[in-house]
């Protein structure tokens, strides 16, 4: 294909696309926690930061596609959205808020995973299950992540809880 040929589709505006399993997990959690989302956003304004950053990116990506005649028709864009430099700068400034929120959330979820179940008295998730959920290669890697995010392992967090 030469530079003058019309491409068949525009580049993907979002660099990360969920796989089928992740999309299914998101759909299930969205349904299970739909009532809590608005309450969390009202109570914790920074919980909306990541969604807003995506919205700014989507607007700018649409603008980029609209400015290039090769993509405009293929992307179905009829007019060029306005340039929003201040919004892009604000989104960049909020990236650290989003990173900090996700860091804290990961620690809180890891702690919840290793907190004893009221039903069984054993941790909610084994390090093997945590490793699988995080996509890390081993239980030891999951334990290391736990130590970095939460603190030292205690007796219950030794990974020797006997559950699969």
> Residue 137 — φ and ψ, nearest 5°?
-75, -20
Residues in contact with 122: Cβ distance below 8 Å, sequence separation at least 6, in sequence order: 116, 161, 162, 163
Low-confidence ranges of the chain (pLDDT < 50): 1-2, 6-7, 10-11, 161-164
Write the burial class of residue 125 (CB in 10 Å: 0-12 exposed, 13-18 middle, 19+ buried): buried
Tell me the C-alpha distance between 45 and 100, whole Å: 14
Residue 21 has what pLDDT? 87
Closest CA to 128 of 116, 118, 114: 114
Residue 1 has what pLDDT? 45
Residue 74 has what pLDDT? 66
Closest CA to 123 of 102, 143, 101, 103: 143
Q: Are 149 and 159 in contact (CB under 8 A)?
A: no
Element of type H or E holding 57 = helix 49-67
Q: What is the CA radius of gyration of the chain?
A: 21
Tokens of 128: 């093997």
**What SS3 state is found at 78?**
coil
Residue 136 has what pLDDT? 96
Residue 163 has what pLDDT? 44
The pTM for the full model equals 0.66
């Amino acid at each position: 294909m030469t530079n003058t040929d019309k491409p068949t589709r525009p580049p993907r505006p979002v660099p990360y696309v969920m796989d089928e399993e992740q999309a299914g997990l998101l759909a299930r959690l969205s349904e299970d926690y739909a009532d809590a989302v608005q309450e969390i956003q009202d109570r914790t304004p920074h919980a909306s930061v990541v969604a807003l950053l995506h919205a700014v990116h989507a607007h700018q990506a649409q603008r980029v596609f609209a400015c290039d005649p090769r993509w405009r028709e293929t992307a179905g864009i009829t007019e060029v959205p306005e340039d929003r430099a201040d919004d892009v700068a604000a989104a960049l400034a909020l990236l650290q808020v989003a990173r900090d929120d996700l860091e804290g959330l990961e620690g809180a979820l890891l702690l919840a995973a290793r907190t004893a179940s009221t039903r069984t008295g054993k941790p909610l998730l084994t390090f093997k299950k945590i490793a699988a959920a995080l996509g890390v290669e081993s239980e030891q890697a999951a334990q290391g992540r736990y130590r970095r995010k939460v603190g030292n392992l205690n007796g219950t967090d030794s990974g020797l809880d006997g559950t699969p």
